Structure formats: structure tokens, C-alpha cells
Amino acid sequence: WGSALAIILSDKFDEIFLIDRDKEIIKKLGKQHPVLSRPFTNNITLNHDISSVAKSEGILIATPSYAFSDILENIKPHLNGHHHIAWATKGFDPHNECFLHETFNKILPTYKACIISGPTFATEIVEKKPAAIVVASKDKKTRDFWASTIQTNTLRAYTNTDIIGVQVGGSVKNILAIAAGVASGLGFGANTQAALITRGLAEMTRLGVSLGAEKLTFQGLSGIGDLVLTCSDDLSRNRRFGKELANNNSTDKALSNIGATVEGFNVLRLVIEIAKKHQIEMPICEQVLAVV
């Protein structure tokens, strides 16, 4: 996802740094992304030097949720107080057992939290197929900066102030996509998928509202929009993971076969714990936990 954003934004900006702390990953990326099958233009600099963030006005984090706090700690010494920081990481911090914005506020208290989320697959973004995304922040200046930064001729950015709702939607939809994948792998049909999506949306909304989110958020791009996308197409790693489980693969084998981050699995136990703490019923998500 980070690479996809770098590729499409390279048409818009003179210089982009695509940074990964792992030298081997940078080597593998080379001149062309192996999955996205798109070349990196000359104005995209690939490196593993985290200090490069100091040169950028905007810093967009697209790391898996389990690495989010480490990344913030790594970039902290290189910030000058004037950077705009956002993340496309989904939902919850499984290590600190809290929202990502809570981790962000603890590590970088002088910066404004901003979340970028919505129904987007990286492969379609780099193919410049029309899509829409949500930029959520309580700070108007931050929202406007990232909306104007991210928006292109084929990617429309909408703004939102409900950072809790956007994070709940971006996280829970991945768990529900695992359920959708299991159902598909077992040979169940469109009726089942529709029921899972509809009742899954109810679970997502109940949890979000109990945590302080606005109900309307779940009727938008970061709620029902992202849920439908992730549950309905095999470009979703979470859905494919569910199908692997349905094929009688162990959890470890299923994760290995996917070969990439499965965020729904990473946050599953934490989401169930939060739901129980707030006495929220999430039967579909609970059954996913029983399966894995």
C-alpha cells in the first residue's frame, strides 16, 4: 500500500522517499515492485535510512499495526515540529492494546493524528482505476493538508473528524473478511455473503458507537464501503486467509500461504477483548476467533 501511494503520487510531487528499515526489502523492490508490477519512477528514492523523513513535509506511515509504535519511536528523533504525519495502517495497536491514535498521541503528543482509510486495493490504485478514500483527523489543517496531498485525478479524498469510527471500521472489516473467506471456501453462496456483510456491519457499528464513534461513519467509505470491498474480492488477504482455513489448513499454514500481513488475524483477539469489556455482542467475530 505504501508503494502504491508512492507510485501514484510520483506524478504529482517532485521527490518522494519510500523507506523501509529492512535493507533486504529495499533490495527486493529494486526498480519495479514485484507484486504491483509497476516501475518506480526516478523521483522515487528507495532507501532504509529512517532519517530521510527529516527532508519531507509530509510523512505517511503504511506499516503493519504490530510495527506502528516502533516506527513512531524511530522517526521521532528526526522530526522538526513542522511535519504533517498520517498513517494508512489499520485500526488497533495489538502491542499496546489501544487505538493507533492513542499510541500516536503518547509518542508524538505535539503532532495531530490523521488516519487514511477506505475501500482501496493497492493494485487498482496503481492502475489508476477510480477510487475514493477517507482522511480523518480532528484538526482541520491536518485533514485539508492530507486530503489535498493524497487526492489525484483517479483517487478522491473525503474528510472526516471521526477518527475512532474510521479506525474501528478499518480494523473490524478485516476480521469479517476472514469470515467471508471461510464461507466462500466452504462453498456457501451469495446469500451467505450478503448476510455476513449485513450482520457484520451491525457488529462493527455496535462496537464503534460504544467506543465513542458516530453511527453515520459506518455508512460511509471507511465502514460499509471498505467492508464490502474486503469481503467480496480475493485481492483481500484477509478473505484469502479465510479461504485457506476453509481448506483445512492450520492457522500457521494459512498465514504462510498468504505470505503477507493479515491484519484481521493480528487484531482479532484484541477486538474481542474490547467488545467483551464493553459488553458488545460480536458473534461473527467470535466465531472467527474460534476457528483460528
Name the residue type at position 44. Answer: I
Determine how many CB atoms are found less than 10 A away from the CB of residue 233: 15
Rounded Cα gap, residues 41 and 6, in angstroms: 9
User: The dihedral of CA 233, 160, 151, 168: what is its sign?
Assistant: negative
Selected catalytic residue, list 173, 215, 253, 276: 173
Give yes or no for a contact between 103 and 68, defined as CB atoms under 8 angstroms apart: yes
Determine how many CB atoms are found less than 10 A away from the CB of residue 133: 24
C-alpha cell at position 148 = 489535498
Rounded Cα gap, residues 235 and 229, in angstroms: 9
C-alpha cell at position 86 = 498520517
CA distances from residue 175 to 137, 151, 162, 163 in whole angstroms, order as listed? 24, 28, 21, 19
Rounded Cα gap, residues 251 and 110, in angstroms: 40
Which are the contacts of 40, defined by CB distance < 8 A and separation ≥ 6?
Answer: 3, 6, 7, 10, 18, 29, 31, 32, 33, 46
Give yes or no for a contact between 230 and 200, defined as CB atoms under 8 angstroms apart: no
Residue position matching grid coordinates 498465514: 255
Active site residue 173: yes
Which residues are designated catalytic? 173
